[in-house]
Amino acid sequence: MTAPTLEPDRVATADWSVWNTRARLVVTDPAHLAGAREAMCEYLDAVDRACSRFRDDSELSGLSAHPGRPVVIGPLFAEYLRTALAVAESTAGDVDPTVGAALERLGYDRDYALVANTDTATPIPVVFTPRTDWTTVLLDERTVTVPRGVRLDLGATAKAIAADRCAHLIAERFGCGTLVSLGGDIATAGAAPDGGWQIEVRDGPGEPGCRISLPAGAALATSSTVRRRWKRGGHLVHHIVDPRTGVAAETVWRTVSVAANTCLAANAAATAAVVRGRDALEPLHRSGSPARLVDRAGRITTLGGWPAEQ
């Protein structure tokens, strides 16, 4: 898990539940906390109405009524979909928004709070379908065509994009340093507190961890195979799907944390690393991004100057 370590006399913070995860907002000027939270909630609600897989009235859900046909979509949904497709291209398809149907077959077909405590004996169905991936989704400005049988899921990128957008929106509107965390995906904007934003990175209580300092404008994302998991057919599965197999990625790494200039870039690298498994280290090493990987036995690998564990 990742969490800001706060200095109460110098910053103000708000925490609440959103999208079945925890949102945290930190500002360097306490006088702007209420207004900043209101602005953030308004923006996140707009994203939810555009991109949620679990709302029947979202734009994303509405695409299922027009399989294979062009649909005009709103600018916010178009931005988030375009970014998800760009991430798919940059990761060579390892982070792909066309895994919605695969997630549904795994049982993640409703809000995670409703999935987490279920243990269905129904085995994961074996479905033979034509190979589809992000390249089959056609997006031209604000017109999108999604092939028949393809279900989109923007969960791999939406939180990170929203964290980036909210941090910059608040910093620009209120003129204060801002940290936004959505389920541990952290973005910052504006001036940082003295010494930078202090973040505690630790998999759980009593486990090895470290404190890192994020400079102004930096971001951090963690992808995990242990935080969103449930049982299907008597087997534990998780929410990070390997697009090539259509099932949960092999748990080589239980968590991967990456620091980058944007939360989107950090999240894409962390999620791709989980999907790549044993092949994750070389791409991360080439990128030069600070990274921390914890394997399923709890062994820690760090790259790119990530600080030593405490």
The domain spans of the chain are: 2-303
Q: What pLDDT score was predicted for residue 128?
A: 45
Cα 11 to chain centroid, rounded:
25
Q: What pLDDT score was predicted for residue 99?
A: 87
- Overall size of the chain counted in residues: 310
Q: What pLDDT score was predicted for residue 236?
A: 55
Name the stretches of the chain with pLDDT < 50.
Answer: 6-8, 109-110, 112-115, 126, 128, 230, 238
Written as one letter, the residue type at 23 is A
Q: What pLDDT score was predicted for residue 194?
A: 92
- For the segment 91-123, what is each residue's pLDDT rounded down to a tens digit? 999 999 998 777 677 665 445 444 455 555 555
Q: What pLDDT score was predicted for residue 146?
A: 96
Q: What pLDDT score was predicted for residue 104?
A: 74
The pair phi, psi for residue 163, each rounded to 5°, is: -60, -45
Q: What pLDDT score was predicted for residue 265?
A: 98
Top CATH class, 2-303:
alpha beta
pTM of the model: 0.87
